[in-house]
Amino acid sequence: VQLQASGGGLVQPGGSLRLSCVASGISFRSGSMAWYRQAPGKQRELVASVRSGGTTTYADSVKGRFTISRDNARNTVYLQMNSLKSEDTAVYYCNCGTSDYRDVYYPHDYWGQGTQVTVSS
């Protein structure tokens, strides 16, 4: 399994970034995908998930600002991040997993190298 995340960078508060993650070695169409992030000194946290059928979930801290989407033809999951804040600074990781009937996401233990997002003026 390979999860190749890209699109991070340095952006000013209020700015936007779009992250991409190309997955290989998995049955992309049938599984759920998610984005996690880990800030220095903090635990990794779930940011957003998307089911195979397109149902999405978001952490409260990013609702209304971030949008997760997927392109099954390209085995790619995206995270559009708008109105970025300094507290969004972290390494962002994509993940493949499953979702239950309540749309609760359960990660598989596959993690790529992540992509750094830094929000600073």
Question: Residue 68's closest CA among 100, 106, 36, 109?
Answer: 36
Per-residue pLDDT tens for 87-110?
Answer: 999 999 999 998 999 999 999 888
pLDDT at 68: 98
84's CB contacts (< 8 A; 6+ apart) are 11, 13, 14, 15, 16, 17, 65, 117, 119
pLDDT at 27: 87
3-state secondary structure of 72: helix
pLDDT at 66: 98
pLDDT at 28: 86
Can you tell me the distance from the alpha carbon of 118 to that of 53, in angstroms, rounded to the nearest whole number?
31
Residue 3, token pair as written in the block: 């999860």
pLDDT, mean of each 10-residue run, the chain (121 residues)? 95 98 89 95 97 94 98 96 98 94 90 93 95
